[in-house]
Each structure stands twice: as structure tokens, then as C-alpha cells.
Structure 1
């Protein structure tokens, strides 16, 4: 009562009106087999939402069969809610009428919300369930859409973590690369995964309003290449640490610069990854070099930077703005503005 009824009230239903929120509502198959649902939300004296409540901390997956029975017994029920007061699961009959779906189309944990973690899809879903918005006749179609969306999201997540051959070849074709040999494909699959991670990093920065404007324009399609086997001096795929450094550098520059031109120039930062060295540059690798980065080993610092036009190497075990802000901003301004830019402090000496 102290956990579920406030949520029912939040949805806009009057928990003090037994003609709208009815406790212990009957959901009988017959006179012989009596059954009752903990709470039923009524519309025109007919139950449209069934709420089954369990003890706080109970394993809800073991109780879905009981909720499923209410769908079978009450033809007017279009949505079922299973909850322990903190975890809420919402079910519909999107495949067959009065046959509850196996998977919840919406779920959340009040602990997460109390800690400030509320996914947008959950917030939007709850809005659609509020009185005045909830449509019993269309909830099945809406649930189907959400379930398909969840499957899409799972598939995209899997592709980002480990792109399959079909997806990789499709992307290669869109950029003008065809007839890739099977033994060269794993390298391209890793490259697709790295591109996914970089895309996510950019979107996170934009979400935090650390970048401005629209997503950078996509590069022109690559010309078809005849030889796809990497040469000895060709760039290699970046490691997770190198991608972490690239994202951190863009993040710091977005925080440090106070000029619109410099802000827009952050979008033109790119990289080349060679065996043993990660090169970050502005626009062009040679003329726009910002720094070289090496990933340290067991005996040295984890992060090692050699900034352009600065003699001292910067080495540290912790990636922080305190260590790299001054030389980074200095060389970035110089590359963008074409002239040396003074900073408040000298470039730091090597730190460990």
C-alpha cells in the first residue's frame, strides 16, 4: 500500500475511489476456480489494468505466471503490472489477445530513479501510461513497438561490440570498398567497432553540451582500393586506451577554449595509429600535429605525451587536465590560429 498506491496516484488514478482503483478484484475462470488480483484499475466498471504485488525483494520472474492468468480470465485487461514495490514490470498482449507477452515492454527500479538514473525511454513510457494518455485499445501496438525497439537496441549493442561479417561488408560497400578478402576482414571489423565507440563518445559530449552545432559532416566516400592488404607502414587499429586519450583531449579542449573558432576546430581533430605510436593532429597529420602518445608499460607511466614544439615529454599514471591542459591548449591554439599562443604557465616537465 505504501509503495504501490503512491505510484498508482502518480499515474493519475484515484486510489481512494473504488470505482477506479479496486483492491482484491476478482479475476475468476469459473465459479469453481476463484482468483483475485491485488489491484485492478477500472474503466466503465471493467478492469483494464491488473496489478500483482509481491513482497519487496521477491524474484518477480517466478510470479509472472500468476499475472498471466489474469489476462486469460479477464478479457478487458489490456495491461498487467508486476511489482515488489520498487521494481515495476509492465506487460501487454501484443501478439495474441488476452495472452500476456513473455517480455515486459517497460520496466524500471525506483532505486535507480532515487539515485538520479532515469532513462528517457522509461520517462516517455510512463507518460503514455498516465490517466488521460493511456489507451487500452492501443497499448498492445505500443508495447509491440517498444519490444521491437528493445530488440533493435540489443542488436546494435552487439554490432558495436563485435560487428559481424554481413554488417562490416555492408559498411565497406557504402564507402566504396568491395571484394575484401576473408583474411583481411577481421581488421575491418575491429575498425567498425572503433568507429562505433568514437561515435558514442561524440554523442556523449554533445549530450553534455560540451560541443556545439550539428554532428560533423561525414567524410567523402573513399575511392575503391585495389590492394586491401595493409602495408608494413600502414596505420593500425587504435587500442581502448588510445581512444580514451582522444576522447579526453576533445573533452578538455571543449572545456578550455573560449573562442567560437577554436570550439568549432575541435571537430577537425583526427588521429593516425601506428605500431607503438598514436598521433593526434588538427586537419593534417604533418602540419597539424598536436602530440604523439605512447601507452606505457609495466615499468613506466601509463600515459606518455610528446607535444609538438615542446621539448619535455609529459608522463603520468593518471589522465587528468592538470597534467596536459597547458601544453595541449598551447599547441592547439598554435595549429588553429597559425601562431604561437601564450599560456599562463610553462609546459609542465615530465611527471610520474
Structure 2
């Protein structure tokens, strides 16, 4: 499996299992160790590469531990602190990372609940861990632009200098993008005023602000939807070359075991065509609700697209396992009608029905 394929497989596992994981140890076993092994490529069974429960006594805090330390060339390079998958990541709950960062050679620290991965370094002051991450990876909503940066952390492609050099730009670009996303979801008065004063010549009164808050929100959603649709249409026009068969594996490591585990967990091979179809349905549906509420589950007989990861809220089904492909749409009584399609672009022709399905549940 290629790097991006392994990341997608783990994301599918997280999506399917996160709600069932209730403890920190279960989070480590189900999500964190597979990430270290299958995504980063370090052998979690080899203490020369991965040290669990890493201890480095600091001042009066004797015996305090960090969940994992990743070692390269005999030196600790990455520290990882874990929380349960159901918890919200708060830096005040990871004080060990702050203390250990200054007493080891590590330049990178990671705080994770197995779903969201926050990466830190020392941009603000040397040997002092920053209070804000320079990179945030959400496995339930992967930003594809971050994949090359994550790959630089892997054993095969580890490039610390490149990571640190790119960290400052990643930190601020990521923060700006998250702020833009927040404004798209719920425009602030400043955001509303910024656009209103450029299109409206009157005074920015309370009544005008109320009127344009909704207009700015609506325009933002439409713009975002158009951008997503344009990107998908462009992507669908690009041919995909099947990866060459990999060489036989002679040595068994945790990476190979983790990859096999991911394949067992997903059981069914999720195709690129199914994921592209899902993205089209998601792009259509996000005009009604937040995109992260639309998820997928690959079943044996069809590829399900659901609202809120709930089987009782099916938006659409993709039947792509036969020569003739079908888009399955369900009515209010959950009765499915299959519409034959010859290309993914034809899904756009059923946009109204998809939006109605989303509206019905939302």
C-alpha cells in the first residue's frame, strides 16, 4: 500500500471504530500504534525505534512518563502523548510534553487522541515547546495538502530540517485556514462588515448587519460548494495508474502487521472510484449541512453514504461492484431506487434528490 492509501485505510478504521473506543489503552492499541507502525513506518515491537512509557526524570517530577518516544540514530526525535479517542485535546493535560521537550533532543512533540494529531515544535523559543501546533491532522477530515508533510516524519523519508523549515508556514497557514473555515460556518460581525462595506453603499446599521450576516453566510457556502465541485470535476478527468506490485516481504515488522490489520478491519477494498463518488455526494450535501457530518461506510454489497455516521440516515448508496454502476437513492420509507450511471459526473444530475435526503434527516 502507498503512503496515502495506508492513511486512508487507517482513517476508515478510525471512522468505524472511534465511537466504540472508551479508554486510553484501547485508543493506543486501535489507533495510535497502527499510526506509528503503518503510517510512520516505525517498528513498535522494537525498543530501539519506539519506546513505550518513556521516562526521563525532570526536576521534582520523578517517574513521569510520556506514552511513546520515537528514536532515530540512538536519539529521541519525536515524543507522543495520548488521550482517549472520546476526549477533546487540551494542551494543559499534556504537561509532560512541555517538560520532556526541553530535556531531550526531541524537536517534535505530538498530542493525539488517535483521531486528531497535533504536531508541535519550538518556533517561538529554542528548546521550549510551542503552545500552538504547527500542523493538525484530523483523520476524519484529512487535508490532502498535509500528506507530504506527514510523510516527512516517516522512517523512510524522515527529514527533520525540512519539517522545521516548513513548520512556521504550516503553523500560520493552518491557523488562517481554520479561522476562514470558522467564518464560513458562522460569520463574525467583522467578517460580515468587511464584505458588506464592499458591496453596500449605505451605513452599516444594526438592521443592515442582521440582513447581511445571512447573505454573507449563504454566499460563503455557495462559493465553497462551487470550489469543491470544480476541484472534483478536475480530479475526475485525471487518469489513475494502478500501483506496481510490491516486492515480497522478507522481514516481519509491526508495520507489516499493522497494514494487514488495517486490511482485515476494512475487509472490503474501497476503490478510488467509490471515494470520488462519495466526495461528489458530500460536495452536493454540504450546501445544506457541515461537510464533516457526511461519512461513508463500505459494505459488501454497496458503498453507503450516511449522515452523522448513522445507518438510519442513508443519503445515497454506490453500487460500483458490477459492470453497470448504479447510484442508489432512498425515499422517505427507505425504499431504494437504483439509477444506472456510466460516469461519476452523472451523480450531479441527482443533486436535488441528494439534497432532499440530507434535508429530510437534518
Report the TM-score, using the length of structure 2 for normalisation. 0.46
Higher RCO structure (Cα 8 Å, ≥6 apart): 2
Richer in helix (by share) = 2
Report the TM-score, using the length of structure 1 for normalisation. 0.47
